[in-house]
């Protein structure tokens, strides 16, 4: 098992607790978390990603109980083992495409030599010196996928990666995510309410009731 | 990629704000640099020029004027004194050595100073060409004078009356150059030196050829039976008691005035000090405003950057790295400001010196670097750290999940 998130409890307001199912994934396994807007998808993703401490329960990645990690150790672990793709591609604008990826390598103090192959596979190698604000939305989302993968994470988390894309781009982004996750042996969780994604991954859980 | 490069990228992403902040800080630091450079060099030069001169005696008037005119050759003399009074003074047992000066003429703005060979010895002058004067109307040029007017030994010129350029020329006697001094780095560089006798004879109506060929006095006073005058006397004390007794003794004699160079210089610096303090205050205000500017720029940019900071955290950056990231931005800004400021300061001095090729300012050099300038760099770094501390602390506390869920 690469991910074990069992008996997680979380609430912002104790009167409104989230019902969070147990999530367990094997290496290379893929999963879709579906739910209405406001059902707590992002919240669950943040908890798994080590960004939001649950009120109770454990999140284990590999053999590590992540919320037991302290300070910069936790940050390095997160940077190394978890790749996150956000709904909007949050790429650092002052840096070029290539530098965004180099920065990810720098923060975990490891050169994975994946920048070139990743950018090539995602079809944005020509854009490596480009300014971020000249990229199309699809290109930008591919950059954020490349950046999430560049540290060779064990787990890839994507929060509504297709929400702002057209049908064609949406399909290609999901396909790329699946391909890359498989290629680097990472587990993949996609959180979405986008019906277009449903057919791509059969392993699905639904939170917050029926869609 | 590294922390410095990362901060640098964020700085150049906002060239206008970054440039303005650097310029403002540089302006404040440039003013301080100029002040430090001028103050240091003036003090050095003035102390050096007055070395070995314990007391200056001249006509009554402002003591500061007496010192400025007869030690530094920048102000007008207070008047002349009787040779008899001067010679009487030289017999005083408290006086070890006395060097007479006769001022009043110039050539192209360079002052002609009548004196004896002790004046050369006082500054341990060495020659790059020729020898010292032996007869009336023989002169020795300071290094800079020779360079600027382009004369060499054997050449002649005619002096003008008065100590600034202009005024009428003496038609009678040309001066003959017998020697040129090596560069001394002191007041001699800008002087034309000759004997007391030369100064006397140029002003005489009739010319007596016998005396014009007689050798001049190389020490002490020229021997004469006429009523003659000198402008000032440079005196060395025989012993420490002289410092107490001699000035009082001289000042009580009605015709003469005694002034101590060290006392007058420190008084002058005190007066200048007030002006310097004012300018310094202005510079510090500018630096504080620059610091505030940097603070505001960082603080404002932080609002837009919270997202970027959160993203960096998801990529593996620690809170301390975010803190460092912001502090580095402030420090890079201020180091650049300091370097630009020091450069502007030196450039300003170069221009200042270029525009004044005579007088006190022309002796300054812009090619001097002082260790105080390293202090400027140090202060600038402190300003950078102080200005970025609060924004950096904000960055340190970035709540990742909250930032990322915000639309
Ligand atoms: N920091 C917070 N403090 C208080 N309440 C919050 C906070 N973040 C989210 N919530 C609330 O928790 C609920 C779940 O939010 P979450 O962002 O997880 O929804 P979501 O399923 O991702 O929705 P969407 O599909 O619109 O992104 C919402 O009702 C939201 O208002
Ligand atoms: Mg969401």
DSSP B386-404: HHHHHHHHHHHT--HHHHH
Per-residue model confidence (pLDDT) at position A60: 93
- Which ligand 1 atom sits closest to the C-alpha of A41? 21
The percentage of chain B sitting over the pLDDT mark of 70, rounded to a whole number, equals: 94
Write out pLDDT tens, residues A23-80: 999 988 999 999 888 888 989 999 999 999 999 999 999 889 999 999 889 999 999 9
Burial class (CB in 10 A: 0-12, 13-18, 19+), B170: middle
Beta carbons within 8 Å of B43's beta carbon, 6+ residues apart: B269
At B268-300, the pLDDT tens digits run 888 888 888 888 898 889 889 989 999 998 898
Q: Which two tokens stand for residue A69?
A: 């990690």
End-to-end alpha-carbon separation of chain A, Å?
A: 29
In the block, tokens 């750290």 appear at B385
Strand partners, A191: A33, A159
Residue of A nearest to B317 (CA): A107
pLDDT at B6: 95
Share of chain A above pLDDT 70, in %: 99
Q: Whose CA is nearest to atom 10 of ligand 1?
A: A12
Ligand 1 pocket, Cβ-based, cut-off 6 angstroms? A 12, 35, 37-43, 193; B 402, 405
- The per-residue pLDDT for range B110-145, each reduced to its tens digit, is 999 999 999 999 999 999 989 999 988 999 999 999
- Under 8 Å CB-to-CB from A26, ≥6 apart: which residues? A1, A2, A187
In the DSSP assignment, the letter for residue B210 is H
Residues of A in contact with B320 (CB under 8 A): 72
Output DSSP code: residue B214. Answer: S
Structural domain boundaries of chain B? 3-46+275-406, 55-259
Nearest CA to ligand 1 atom 28: A38
Q: What is the pLDDT of residue B371?
A: 85
Nearest ligand, measured from the Cα of A44: 1
CA dihedral B143, B144, B147, B151 (to 10 degrees): -70
For residue B394, give the nearest of B317, B293, B300, B281 by alpha carbon.
B300
The first and second tokens of residue B183, run together, are: 């560069």
Q: Which residues of A touch B319 (CB under 8 A)?
A: 71-72, 75
Q: Is some CB atom of chain A closer than 8 A to the CB atom of B399? A: no
Q: Count CB atoms within 10 A of the CB of residue A11.
A: 13
Any CB–CB contact under 8 A between B406 and chain A? no
The model's pLDDT over B203-260, given as tens digits with 9 standing for 90+, comes to: 777 667 767 778 888 888 888 878 899 999 999 999 988 888 999 999 987 789 999 9
| The model's pTM | 0.78
3-state helix, strand, coil in chain A (%, to 5): 35, 25, 40
pLDDT (tens digit, 9 = 90+) per residue, B346-375? 999 899 888 876 666 766 777 778 888 888
- What is the band of B382 on the pLDDT scale with cuts at 50, 70, 90? very high
Which residue, B77, B79, B145, B139, is CA-closest to B109? B145
Lookup result for tokens 């908890």: A47
Closest residue in A to B13 (Cα–Cα): A94
Q: Is B15 on the interface with A (CB under 8 A)?
A: no
Q: How many helices and strands in chain B, by DSSP H and E?
A: 13, 13
| A147: closest chain B residue by CA | B315
Spacing, Cα B141 to ligand 1 middle (Å): 89
**Residue B358's pLDDT is what?**
64
Ligand 1 atom nearest A37 alpha carbon: 25
Distance from CA of B398 to the nearest CA of A (A): 11
- pLDDT, mean of residues A116-134: 91
Residues of B in contact with A82 (CB under 8 A): 314
B401 touches chain A (CB under 8 A): yes
- Beta-carbon count within 10 A of B37 CB: 23
Cα–ligand 2 centroid distance for A32 (angstroms): 14
Q: Which residue has the tokens 């049908």?
A: A167
The minimum-distance atom of ligand 1 relative to the CA of A193 is 25
Predicted complex ipTM: 0.92
Q: In sequence order, which residues have a C-beta less than 8 Å from that of residue B107 and are 6 or more positions away?
A: B149, B157, B158, B159, B160, B175, B192
pLDDT band at A173; cut points 50, 70, 90 = confident
Q: What is the mean pLDDT of residues B45-59?
A: 90
Beta strands in B344-389 (DSSP E): none
Classify strands A155-159 and A187-192 as parallel, antiparallel or unpaired.
parallel
Please name the member of B9, B315, B401 whose beta carbon is closest to the beta carbon of A94. Answer: B9
Listed residue (B137, B114, B133) closest to B228, CA to CA = B114
Main-chain dihedrals φ then ψ at residue A185, nearest 5 degrees:
65, 30
Question: Domains in chain A and their CATH numbers?
Answer: 29-52+72-207 (3.40.50.300)
Q: Ligand 2 centroid vs A112 CA: distance in angstroms?
A: 30
Going by CA atoms, what residue is nearest to atom 14 of ligand 1? Answer: A40
pLDDT at A211 over 80: no
- Cα–Cα distance, B401 to A52 (Å, whole number): 6
- For ligand 1, pick from B310, B399, B400, B405 the residue to mutate: most ligand atoms within 8 Å of CB: B405
Q: What is the bridge-based pairing of β-strands A23-25 and A3-13?
A: antiparallel
The pLDDT tens digits of the residues spanning B56-82 come to 999 999 999 999 999 999 888 889 999
Alpha carbon distances (Å) from B66 to B59, B87, B122, B366: 8, 19, 19, 29
Cα–Cα distances (Å) from B101 to B45, B49, B80, B249, B355, in that order, read: 20, 15, 10, 21, 30
What is the rounded distance in angstroms from the CA atom of residue B108 to the CA atom of residue B380? 45
Structure tokens at A112: 């994975």
Of A169, A208, A150, the residue nearest B316 (C-alpha): A150
């Amino acid at each position: 098992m690469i991910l074990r998130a069992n008996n997680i409890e979380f609430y912002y307001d104790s009167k409104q607790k989230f019902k969070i199912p147990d999530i367990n994934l094997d290496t290379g396994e893929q999963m879709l978390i579906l739910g209405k807007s406001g059902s707590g998808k992002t919240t669950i993703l943040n908890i798994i990603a080590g960004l939001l401490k649950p009120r109770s329960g454990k999140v284990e990645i590999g053999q590590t109980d992540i919320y037991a990690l302290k300070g910069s150790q936790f940050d390095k672990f997160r940077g190394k083992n978890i790749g996150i793709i956000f709904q909007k591609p949050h790429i650092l604008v002052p840096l070029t495409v290539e530098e965004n990826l180099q920065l990810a390598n720098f923060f975990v103090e490891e050169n994975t030599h994946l920048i070139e192959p990743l950018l090539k596979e995602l079809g944005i190698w020509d854009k490596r010196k480009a300014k971020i604000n000249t990229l199309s939305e699809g290109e930008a989302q591919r950059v954020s996928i490349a950046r999430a993968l560049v540290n060779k994470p064990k787990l890839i988390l994507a929060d509504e990666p297709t929400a702002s894309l057209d049908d064609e781009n949406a399909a290609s982004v999901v396909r790329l995510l699946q391909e890359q996750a498989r290629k680097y042996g990472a587990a993949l969780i996609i959180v979405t309410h986008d019906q277009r994604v449903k057919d791509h991954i059969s392993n699905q859980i639904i939170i917050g009731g029926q869609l | 990629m590294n922390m410095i490069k990362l901060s640098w990228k964020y700085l150049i992403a906002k060239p206008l704000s970054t440039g303005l902040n650097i310029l403002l800080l540089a302006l404040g630091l440039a003013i301080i640099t100029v002040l430090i450079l001028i103050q240091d060099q003036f003090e050095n030069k003035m102390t050096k020029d007055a070395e070995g001169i314990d007391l200056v005696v001249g006509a009554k008037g402002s003591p500061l004027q007496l010192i400025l005119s007869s030690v530094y050759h920048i102000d007008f003399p207070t008047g002349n004194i009787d040779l008899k009074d001067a010679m009487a003074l030289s017999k005083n047992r408290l006086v070890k050595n006395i060097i007479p000066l006769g001022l009043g003429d110039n050539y192209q703005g360079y002052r002609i100073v009548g004196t004896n060979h002790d004046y050369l010895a006082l500054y341990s002058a060495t020659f790059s060409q020729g020898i010292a004067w032996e007869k009336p109307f023989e002169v020795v040029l300071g290094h800079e004078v020779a360079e600027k007017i382009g004369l060499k030994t054997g050449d002649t010129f005619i002096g003008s009356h008065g100590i600034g350029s202009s005024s009428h020329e003496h038609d009678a006697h040309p001066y003959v150059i017998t020697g040129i001094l090596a560069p001394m780095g002191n007041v001699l560089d800008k002087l034309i030196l000759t004997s007391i006798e030369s100064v006397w004879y140029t002003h005489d109506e009739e010319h007596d050829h016998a005396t014009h060929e007689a050798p001049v006095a190389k020490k002490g006073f020229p021997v004469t039976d006429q009523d003659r005058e000198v402008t000032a006397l440079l005196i060395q004390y025989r012993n420490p008691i002289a410092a107490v007794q001699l000035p009082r003794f001289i000042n009580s004699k009605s015709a003469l005035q005694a002034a101590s160079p060290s006392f007058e210089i420190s008084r002058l610096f005190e007066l200048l000090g007030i002006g310097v303090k004012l300018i310094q205050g202005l510079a510090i205000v500018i630096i504080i405003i620059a610091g505030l500017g940097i603070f505001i720029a960082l603080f404002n940019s932080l609002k837009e950057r919270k997202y970027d900071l959160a993203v960096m955290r998801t990529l593996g950056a620690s809170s301390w790295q975010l803190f460092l990231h912001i502090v580095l931005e402030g420090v890079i800004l201020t180091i650049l400001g300091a370097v630009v400021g020091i450069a502007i300061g030196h450039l300003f001095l170069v221009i200042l010196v270029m525009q004044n090729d005579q007088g006190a300012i022309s002796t300054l050099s812009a090619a001097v670097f002082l260790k105080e300038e390293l202090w400027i760099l140090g202060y600038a770094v402190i300003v950078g750290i102080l200005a970025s501390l609060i924004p950096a602390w904000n960055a340190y506390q970035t709540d990742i999940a909250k930032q990322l869920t915000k639309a």
